[in-house]
Amino acid sequence: MQLKSIKSALISVYYKTNLEPIIKLLQANQVKIYSTGGTQRFIESLGVAVTPVEDITGFPEILGGRVKTLQPQIFGGILYRRDHVGDNEQVATHDIPPIDLVIVDLYPFEETVASNAEEQEIIEKIDIGGISLIRAAAKNFNDVLIVSSRDQYEETAEILKNNQGSTTLQDRRRFASYAFDVSSHYDTAIFNWFNHKEDLLRFKQSEQQAHVLRYGENPHQQGIFYGNLDALFDKLNGKELSYNNLLDVDAAVALIDEFEDTTYAILKHNNACGVATAITPKEAYLQSLAADPVSAFGGVIITNKPVDIDTAQELHKLFFEVLIAPSFNEDAFNLLVEKKNRILLRRKPVDFAKNQFKTLLNGVIFQDKDLKTETANDLKTVTVKTPSTLEIEGLLFANKLVKHAKSNTIILAKGTQLYAAGVGQTSRVDALKQAIEKAVSFGFDLNGAVMASDAFFPFPDCVEIAHQAGITAVIQPGGSIKDQDSINYCDSHGLAMVTTGTRHFKH
């Protein structure tokens, strides 16, 4: 393992936290340090000798700090190849000092955007010199170590300490790879900010964190989650989340965010098999479980309220994979963790993106998320009979669920309790028959229940079947050229129907 000694370093960083140990190690190994502005003042405050960059360049920092290091004397010192005769002759001719270590972090562009800052402040956080230094040093990793993030300060200190101020080619190459990840991510963030305003019809996405999963959707498939789960949840108990767990967790979070009142939802294979809103958490859970206690086995459960001991005692009777909640009362938590593999996730407040994408064929398909949630003001009564107050409550509840179920889908509900869902069927009639069969099998009386459909009825067959099962009110988008056929059937048999004008397909 061949070591290359660091004799000089250029340090220009935005964040100084945890930088001191590196400075002290460089001092101990008699490394000449160059720096600029605030970083220079920080190093001087530690009592360490530092040479201002302008002593090399012969040119002061200008334009309010926009131009500091963009000089051939700096980039020549970084980029010249130490084993190249011509390069060595040129740096000697122009009196360019070598730079063996570059420590740079970038202006906090993403943080500034997230703070809802004014446009000019955001523009000023587009780093120019820093990103150029990172790319230059990474390109010449054969001779130069690039530290491109404060996340690498601790490891850098360890390398300097263990190797007495020297580096290996393996370390330099690895740090260079990380540097190009930093620079590409930074450029992606800048582009996406501009693209949001200009809509250039380009797609770029960058995630810098990865979590290797046990496997993908099936054991023979590799699975990786790219993103920061720790920003979304505190994992309080249980085994590692699987690929399929994550799919269900994603669906569960999207569904529960439709509700403000106390609600429990149970999901299996991305679809809700039980959902209920009630006065108490225990009631909400038991009512959601009643919709399909068979499918609930091994499912993912989510609530929008703290888990109390009364509910936990009921939850504890069921085998489930994941429970997600904003918090857990201490006694409830102590009970639930008795099952060591049971995954308990405490949600954190996070704003999610308003769009979504996935790979498709040889590209990516992108769309706005379906964020439309209908209210009573969106309902248009199209039948002679107007739905009752209780029916409207049930229709709006069922319509929230239909939006989050795989098409074709039919939801049957009464009040704020899911009775049954028919999901993922190639025929809307089949979806309805599936829902009716499930509801009856679990002992629900459908007389007075309501039906929601994710799309319009091309024929009156669905309302006829629903009516025969006891359904009294229907909600659907409308828009079929044969809407009137279904409306006429409802009028002839005393059903109420409302349309929303919004389809909720989910594939």
Per the annotation, the verdict on 269 as an active-site residue is: yes
Specify the residue for token string 């130069």.
144
C-alpha distances (whole Å) from 396 to each of 203, 279, 334 are 36, 18, 37
CA distance 297 to 51: 67
User: Distance of alpha carbon 106 from its chain centroid, rounded?
Assistant: 23
Per the annotation, the verdict on 139 as an active-site residue is: yes
Query: To the nearest 10°, the Cα dihedral for 182, 184, 187, 191?
Result: -140
Of 7, 125, 139, 239, the catalytic one is 139
Q: Are 299 and 320 in contact (CB under 8 A)?
A: yes
Of 211, 269, 316, 339, the catalytic one is 269
What does the angle CA 150 – CA 152 – CA 153 come to, to the nearest 5 degrees?
70
Q: Are 105 and 14 in contact (CB under 8 A)?
A: yes
Tell me the residue ranges of DSSP E strands in 174-333: 210-212, 224-226, 233-237, 263-268, 271-277, 300-303, 322-325
Residues forming a β-bridge with 366: 357
Q: Are 324 and 303 in contact (CB under 8 A)?
A: yes
Cα of first residue to Cα of last residue in the chain, in angstroms, is 54
Catalytic residue list: 139, 269
